[in-house]
Amino acid sequence: MPVAVFTHHDCLLHHAGPLHPEAPARLEAVLARLAAEPGAAIRQAERSERPTLEAVHPESYLLMLEALSRRGGGALDSDTVLNESSWSAACASAGAAIDAVRHAAAGEGHAFAAVRPPGHHASAAQAMGFCLLNNVVVGAREAQRLGRPQVLIVDWDVHHGNGTQSLVERDPSVRFVSMHQWPWWPGTGAATERGVGNVFNVPMPAAQPPERYVEALWSAISAATADWTPDFVLVSAGFDAMRGDPLGGFTLEPGHYAALTTRLRDRFPDAPLVGVMEGGYIPARLAEGVAAHVQALG
């Protein structure tokens, strides 16, 4: 059965300015690659609504993003810029994550959310690092609402998922594993940051053999779940840890993501698995990484 890939056309309308690395071409390349993949079925998601997002983000923050976008946009920081369609794109991204979770939780198969803007740097009330809404935590709260109380979030983006950590680090119902380049932006994610014992950070140097990254991440996943079994698994699926990405220095290739995805499926056979797209800034390489991950989901 083809893997359901949830997306929304509004995700292509967000523009952060000329030459910005988080550009519509990223998602365009992914969707074109998956359209040619017989193991993937692209589906249009529903946009999320503000009350649903309030499970993660306060109303005042959501209203601020919406108002700024409706005024034509503006810069929240040097990296994070909105245009007139950014609020719609953010709601569409979160909506695709929610629909992917609902699909998987209903027993219809593992799923993927092909979205932008990404989300794992967004905290409760602060956008940063190209991210407006934390799509993966929105997805985690939806999984819990659907009766999957224990959620594992694995973040293999080359940058630490600081927003995700800030949102779950005091919640023992969620375990968060992040492997990321260190030292590197955003400067968080030390191994000593443990939350309430539910955070497992794996800071790694650049330019290592790819097998070292795979085994380091897998060791952390094993440690995080040694005495705890997830009811749902979410992957913050960034592909900027691939060799040659301009915003990272890791050396992974598409096959490594496929292998990690297969290992997650095998270790947690009763847990639905959903990937949510994060970074990856060479569109063709991003597309190949996503395709490998989606193929392994199937």
Catalytic residues: 121
Integer Cα distance of 208 and 258 in angstroms? 19
DSSP state of 64: H
Q: Which of 135, 63, 131, 129 is nearest to 93 (CA)?
A: 135
Burial of 196 (0-12, 13-18, 19+ CB in 10 A): exposed
**Cis peptide bond prior to 283, omega within 30° of 0:** no
Give the length of the chain: 298
Residue 87 and residue 69 in contact, taking contact as beta carbons nearer than 8 Å: yes
CA distance 296 to 16: 32
Q: What's the rounded Cα separation, in Å, for the pair 157 and 112?
A: 15
- Residue for token pair 């991003």: 286
Spatial separation of the C-alpha atoms in residues 49 and 70, rounded to whole Å: 16
Number of H helices, E strands in the chain: 9, 10
Q: Residues near 189 by Cβ (< 8 Å), separated by ≥ 6?
A: 160, 161, 162, 165, 178, 180, 182, 201, 203
